[in-house]
């Protein structure tokens, strides 16, 4: 298959590209950022997903499948930039998929769109509403992008759309949202709260995306690996020291004293869990994780 | 040797729980084996030494598989839930962990919310309940809810309005209902007044005030009477009248169990007959 990957220079996307190439697929990658030492078999184009050169790729190379990983979070882009990339960019590539007869498009999204709050069920199924627009306003654009792709399911029925809502990834690359939170020697938490954190090994995440390409499940799917663990255990198992802060102090101290900088609203994610029910995806693709929760934490710790 | 507050009997019985704990002693809902041992050791002191809880027909609770424990709230604080939890771990063979369906306001309280989570006491949401039942767990539901613990002493042992959600859950998941009556809690925490202003401050539905002011339980002997499991046929989508009829059967059964307990104590309460 000829597969186009947007946002290919990201840590997880590179692994996906390499794995797909190993499996004998022809991989075309697009990103604004460079990937200097990209493996020989992978064709790299430097462009913004909203720009002409990417549409040209659709027109001239006619990919069979798209893996859309060109989304950004508040950690790397300003609000305006985020809306342009996450919403206009997603729209542009889905339009191209429709216009140029791509058979299958995968949106690689995040589980945080469900939002953390006191009154939500512990396990979220795909039917749960994404609450992040209210609990964590900096994720609103990602919520919108996710729902936009979901709407493509009925708007363009001939295009098989797969929306993946993936739990945090963690592993030896030490990249990603959760890795950034755990980067320092001390991990902040909120006194009296110890929510479950749901994550999977980055290689399992790569496997899950590959499984989605090969099995082409149509619809919206939660992607989860091993069971979630409490933040306190995640902190100690990754060799960090927990720093429980009273809630009023929490936002004041972030970004200072070697603590990670978090967006407004992130405190909710340190108080309440976001845990996914990933059974539907496993049924649809046969995906099974290879790393249990302890193995994931150890792989991050000793990398 | 490390000094430990964990009771060896409790530790042994928690180890015998048929739940799949991971390598670090947590199950997939965040229930912690170690914290369960600590919490249960504390409950055991109250169970055996303070309330001297006696159970009647506890073998009615199934050894394995899903079930809903449905009973009355007795007393101004949910001490009854703690004692019921302890009874299933300490006096049921094999030991079982019941999952309470906790009032939602508790989730926002620091420390308490974490403790409850680690001990398997989750927010009372239908999604949580269905998932646990389908996972062959035991659910503990007090359909009177906060209305039940909020009873004043003069209304003791009279059931207040039962919620009907539990019946739809039982029908939907085809779970048996084990009725129980908790007797003694109303004497342990006799509530004569509610402090509305304080309750508003704490975000709680009420704050119980006892004749001796503090909402602390007195050492009164308590009993838990279990009834034979009730099974209802249906899908959970029945009309309110049908569901209400089933719920009334359950609450009637619980009233009978309460009366059995009160008779044993030589107490009789005047009940308006329906």
Asked whether B225 and B58 are in contact (CB, 8 A), the reply is no
Q: And the tokens for B86?
A: 């302890």
Q: How many CA atoms lie within 13 A of B204 on its CB side?
A: 18
- Chain B interface disruption, residue of A192, A222, A238, A242, most B CBs within 10 A: A192
| Alpha-carbon separation of residue A239 from A187, A196, A298 (angstroms) | 10, 18, 9
Query: Is 90 exceeded by the pLDDT of residue B213?
Result: no
How many CB pairs below 8 A link A and B? 69
DSSP state of A171: S
Query: Is 70 exceeded by the pLDDT of residue A216?
Result: yes
Task: Determine the distance in angstroms separating the CA of B105 from the nearest CA of chain A, rounded to an integer.
Answer: 8
Query: Is 90 exceeded by the pLDDT of residue B148?
Result: no
What does the angle CA B175 – CA B31 – CA B35 come to, to the nearest 5 degrees? 130
Asked whether B144 and B247 are in contact (CB, 8 A), the reply is no
Residue with tokens 């590959």: A210
What pLDDT does residue A6 have? 98
- Across the interface, whether the CB atoms of A227 and B122 are under 8 A apart is answered no
Asked whether A227 and B28 are in contact (CB, 8 A), the reply is yes
Mean per-residue pLDDT over chain A, rounded: 94
Burial of A75 (0-12, 13-18, 19+ CB in 10 A): middle
Q: And the tokens for A132?
A: 């992040």
Q: Which chain A residue lies closest to B27 (C-alpha atoms)?
A: A227
Task: Determine the distance in angstroms separating the CA of A206 from the nearest CA of chain B, rounded to an integer.
Answer: 23
Residue A168, strand partner residues: A199
Smallest Cβ–Cβ distance between A119 and the set B22, B107, B109 belongs to B107
Q: What are phi and psi of A188, to 5 degrees?
A: -75, 145
Helices (runs of H) and strands (runs of E) counted in chain A: 13, 15
Distance from C-alpha of B162 to C-alpha of B140, rounded to nearest angstrom:
14
Least confident of A207-211, A277-281, B262-266: B262-266
Helices (runs of H) and strands (runs of E) counted in chain B: 10, 9
Q: Which chain A residue lies closest to B102 (C-alpha atoms)?
A: A119
Ordered domains of chain B (ranges, CATH): 8-264 (3.40.1130)
Asked whether A97 and A155 are in contact (CB, 8 A), the reply is no
Measured CB to CB, residues of chain A less than 8 Å from chain B are 118-123, 125, 190-194, 196, 226-230, 233, 237, 247, 272-273, 277, 292-294
- Across the interface, whether the CB atoms of A230 and B127 are under 8 A apart is answered no
What pLDDT does residue B272 have? 60
Residue A30, strand partner residues: A6, A45
- Of residues B197 and A86, more confidently modeled: A86
Q: Which chain B residue lies closest to A245 (C-alpha atoms)?
A: B110
For the whole prediction, is pTM greater than 0.90? yes
Contacts of B23 in chain A (CB under 8 A): 292-294
What pLDDT does residue B2 have? 55
Express each pLDDT in B228-273 by its tens digit: 999 999 999 999 999 999 999 999 999 999 999 999 988 877 776 5
Number of Cβ within 10 Å of residue B67's Cβ equals 23
Express each pLDDT in B68-101 by its tens digit: 999 999 877 788 999 999 999 999 999 999 999 9
Whether the CA torsion B86, B260, B270, B266 is positive or negative: it is: negative
- Chain B interface disruption, residue of A121, A275, A278, most B CBs within 10 A: A121
Contacts of A273 in chain B (CB under 8 A): 30
Distance from C-alpha of B58 to C-alpha of B227, rounded to nearest angstrom:
8
Q: How many CA atoms lie within 13 A of A197 on its CB side?
A: 28
If phi > 0 it is left, if psi is from -120 to 50 it is alpha, else beta; for residue A117 that is beta
- Across the interface, whether the CB atoms of A230 and B113 are under 8 A apart is answered no
Query: Is 70 exceeded by the pLDDT of residue A71?
Result: yes
- Number of residues that this document lists for chain B: 274
Listed in order, strand segments (DSSP E) in B116-222 are 122-123, 138-141, 177-183, 193-194, 208-209
Residue B246's nearest CA partner among B183, B169, B181, B191 is B169
What pLDDT does residue B198 have? 83
Q: Which chain B residue lies closest to A122 (C-alpha atoms)?
A: B128
Task: Determine the distance in angstroms separating the CA of B121 from the nearest CA of chain A, rounded to an integer.
Answer: 12
Asked whether A15 and A208 are in contact (CB, 8 A), the reply is no
Distance from C-alpha of B96 to C-alpha of B17, rounded to nearest angstrom:
6
What pLDDT does residue B248 have? 96
Express each pLDDT in A55-67 by its tens digit: 999 999 999 999 9
Residue with tokens 């809902």: B29
Q: Which chain B residue lies closest to A295 (C-alpha atoms)?
A: B23
- Mutual angle of helices B79-90 and B33-44, in 10-degree steps: 110
Asked whether A273 and A232 are in contact (CB, 8 A), the reply is no
| A75-81 CB contacts, 8 Å cutoff, 24+ apart | A75/A177, A75/A180, A75/A263, A79/A138
- Chain A interface disruption, residue of B19, B20, B24, most A CBs within 10 A: B24
Contacts of A292 in chain B (CB under 8 A): 22-23
What pLDDT does residue B3 have? 63
Q: And the tokens for B51?
A: 């309330």
Distance from C-alpha of B199 to C-alpha of B197, rounded to nearest angstrom:
5
Residue A136's nearest CA partner among A109, A114, A118 is A114
Distance from C-alpha of B62 to C-alpha of B139, rounded to nearest angstrom:
12
Task: Determine the distance in angstroms separating the CA of B69 from the nearest CA of chain A, rounded to an integer.
Answer: 21
- Chain A interface disruption, residue of B21, B25, B28, most A CBs within 10 A: B28
Contacts of B107 in chain A (CB under 8 A): 118-119, 272
In this prediction, residues B186-191 reach a mean pLDDT of 84
| Alpha-carbon separation of residue B178 from A59, B66, B67, B69, B185 (angstroms) | 65, 11, 7, 5, 20
Distance from C-alpha of A299 to C-alpha of A288, rounded to nearest angstrom:
18
DSSP string, A54-109: HHHHHHHH--SEEEE-----TTTS-HHHHIIIIIIIHHHHHHHHHHTT-SEEEEEE
Express each pLDDT in A120-172 by its tens digit: 999 999 999 999 888 888 889 999 999 999 999 999 999 999 999 999 999 99
Distance from C-alpha of B257 to C-alpha of B273, rounded to nearest angstrom:
16
Which of the four pLDDT bands, split at 50, 70 and 90, describes residue B274? very low
**How much of chain A exceeds pLDDT 70, in percent?**
100
Smallest Cβ–Cβ distance between B24 and the set A122, A277, A294 belongs to A294
Which of the four pLDDT bands, split at 50, 70 and 90, describes residue B190? confident
Smallest Cβ–Cβ distance between B24 and the set A125, A193, A233 belongs to A233
What pLDDT does residue B226 have? 98
Distance from C-alpha of A120 to C-alpha of A130, rounded to nearest angstrom:
11
Q: And the tokens for A74?
A: 């508040």
What pLDDT does residue A214 have? 95
In this prediction, residues B25-34 reach a mean pLDDT of 96
Residue A233's nearest CA partner among B29, B107, B32, B5 is B32
Smallest Cβ–Cβ distance between B23 and the set A191, A196, A294 belongs to A294
Distance from C-alpha of A265 to C-alpha of A262, rounded to nearest angstrom:
8
Query: Is 60 exceeded by the pLDDT of residue A248?
Result: yes
**How much of chain A exceeds pLDDT 90, in percent?**
83
Number of Cβ within 10 Å of residue A7's Cβ equals 23
- Across the interface, whether the CB atoms of B107 and A118 are under 8 A apart is answered yes
What pLDDT does residue B1 have? 46
Distance from C-alpha of A21 to C-alpha of A8, rounded to nearest angstrom:
13
Smallest Cβ–Cβ distance between B110 and the set A193, A237, A292 belongs to A193
DSSP state of B45: I
**How much of chain B exceeds pLDDT 70, in percent?**
97
Distance from C-alpha of B104 to C-alpha of B127, rounded to nearest angstrom:
13
Task: Determine the distance in angstroms separating the CA of B66 from the nearest CA of chain A, rounded to an integer.
Answer: 19
């Amino acid at each position: 298959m000829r597969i186009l990957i947007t946002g290919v220079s990201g840590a997880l996307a590179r692994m996906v590209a390499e794995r797909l190439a190993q499996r004998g697929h022809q991989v075309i990658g697009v990103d604004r950022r460079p990937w200097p030492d990209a493996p020989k078999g992978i064709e790299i184009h430097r462009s913004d997903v909203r720009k002409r050169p990417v549409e040209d790729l659709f027109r001239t190379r006619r990919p069979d499948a798209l893996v859309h990983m060109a989304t950004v979070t508040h950690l790397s882009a300003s609000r305006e930039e985020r809306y342009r990339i996450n919403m206009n960019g997603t729209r542009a590539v889905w339009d191209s998929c429709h216009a140029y007869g791509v058979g299958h498009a995968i949106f690689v999204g995040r589980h945080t769109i469900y939002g953390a709050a006191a009154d939500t069920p512990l396990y979220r199924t795909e039917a749960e509403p994404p609450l992040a627009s209210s609990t964590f306003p900096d994720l609103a654009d990602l919520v919108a992008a996710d729902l936009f792709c979901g709407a493509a399911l009925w708007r363009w029925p001939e295009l098989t759309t797969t929306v993946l809502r993936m739990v945090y990834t963690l592993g030896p690359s030490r990249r990603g949202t959760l890795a950034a939170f755990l980067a320092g020697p001390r991990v902040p938490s909120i006194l009296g709260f110890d929510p479950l954190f749901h994550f999977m090994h980055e290689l399992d995440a790569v496997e899950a995306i590959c499984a989605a390409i090969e099995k082409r499940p149509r619809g919206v799917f939660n992607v989860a690996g091993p069971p979630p663990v409490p933040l306190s255990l995640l902190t100690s198992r990754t060799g960090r020291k927990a720093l429980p802060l009273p809630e009023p102090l929490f936002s004041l101290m972030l970004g200072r004293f070697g603590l990670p900088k978090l967006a407004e609203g992130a405190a909710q994610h340190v108080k309440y869990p976001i845990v996914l029910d990933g059974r539907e995806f496993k049924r649809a693709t046969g995906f099974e994780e290879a790393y249990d929760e302890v193995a994931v934490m150890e792989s991050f710790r000793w990398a | 040797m490390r000094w430990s507050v964990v009771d060896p009997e409790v530790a042994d019985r928690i180890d015998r729980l048929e739940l799949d704990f991971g390598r670090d002693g947590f199950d997939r809902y965040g229930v912690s084996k170690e914290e369960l041992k600590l919490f249960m050791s504390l409950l055991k002191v109250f169970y055996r030494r303070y309330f001297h809880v006696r159970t009647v027909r506890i073998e009615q609770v199934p050894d394995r598989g899903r079930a809903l424990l449905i009973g009355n709230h007795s007393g101004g604080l949910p001490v009854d839930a703690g004692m019921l939890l302890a009874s299933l771990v300490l006096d049921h063979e094999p030991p079982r962990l019941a999952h309470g369906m906790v009032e939602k306001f508790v989730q926002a309280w620091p420390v308490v919310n974490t403790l409850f989570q680690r001990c398997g006491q989750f927010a009372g949401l239908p999604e949580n309940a269905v998932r646990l039942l389908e996972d062959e767990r035991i659910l503990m539901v007090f359909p009177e809810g906060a209305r039940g613990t909020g009873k004043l002493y003069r209304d003791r042992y009279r059931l207040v309005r039962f919620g009907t959600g539990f019946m739809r859950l039982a029908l939907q998941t085809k779970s048996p209902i084990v009725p129980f009556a908790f007797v003694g809690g109303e004497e342990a925490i006799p509530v004569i007044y509610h402090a509305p202003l304080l309750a508003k401050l704490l975000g709680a539905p009420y704050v119980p005030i006892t004749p001796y002011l503090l909402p602390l339980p007195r050492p009164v002997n308590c009993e838990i009477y279990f009834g034979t499991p009730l099974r209802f046929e249906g899908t959970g989508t029945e009309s309110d009248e049908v569901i209400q009829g089933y719920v009334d059967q359950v609450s009637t059964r619980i009233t009978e169990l309460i009366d059995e307990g009160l008779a044993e104590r030589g107490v009789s309460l005047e009940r308006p007959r329906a």
